[in-house]
Amino acid sequence: ETGVTQTPRHLVMGMTNKKSLKCEQHLGHNAMYWYKQSAKKPLELMFVYSLEERVENNSVPSRFSPECPNSSHLFLHLHTLQPEDSALYLCASSRYYGRAAGESGRLNTQYFGPGTRLTVL
């Protein structure tokens, strides 16, 4: 599945660095998501963008700053992270977000990118 791509695939950064993660979807979807996956923990939803508008922020610390310049691109800007922020960061997209007329299940189905493995030293 190459519909959702993420770069870089691996990132090592110090606590004082500023870096950005990039996600791009080629599926014509209108909703994009950032998830965090830590070792031995379930996927945690961080942010949701629908039609380039942030519609959900699940109490994520301000050191994570998302940006969605258009419906195909999603960024996660990182600043002064902590070692506990080390995790696999996953991007996903879906045709729509939330309830849609008709086949809402099909239109809400999320497709994931390969992830960025982030290590904070």
State the minimum distance, in angstroms, from the CB of residue 118 to other proteins.
12
27 binds other proteins (CB under 8 A): no
Name which of 79 and 100 has its Cβ closer to other proteins: 100
State the minimum distance, in angstroms, from the CB of residue 102 to other proteins.
11
State the minimum distance, in angstroms, from the CB of residue 16 to other proteins.
26
Candidates 12-20, 60-68, 77-85, 112-120 — which segment interacts with other proteins by CB under 8 A? Answer: 112-120
Contact letters (x/-) for other proteins, 80-99, by CB under 8 A?
--------x-xxx----xxx
DSSP secondary structure letters along the chain:
--SEEEE-SEEEE-TT-EEEEEEEE-S--SEEEEEEE-TTS--EEEEEEETTEEEEE-S--TTEEEEEEETTEEEEEEES--GGG-EEEEEEEES-SS--SS-HHHHH--EE---EEEEE-
Burial class of residue 88 in the structure, from the number of CB atoms within 10 Å of its CB (0-12 exposed, 13-18 middle, 19+ buried): middle
The residues that touch other proteins, with contacts defined as CB under 8 A, are 1, 4, 6, 42-43, 45, 48, 56, 88, 90-92, 97-99, 103-106, 108-115, 117
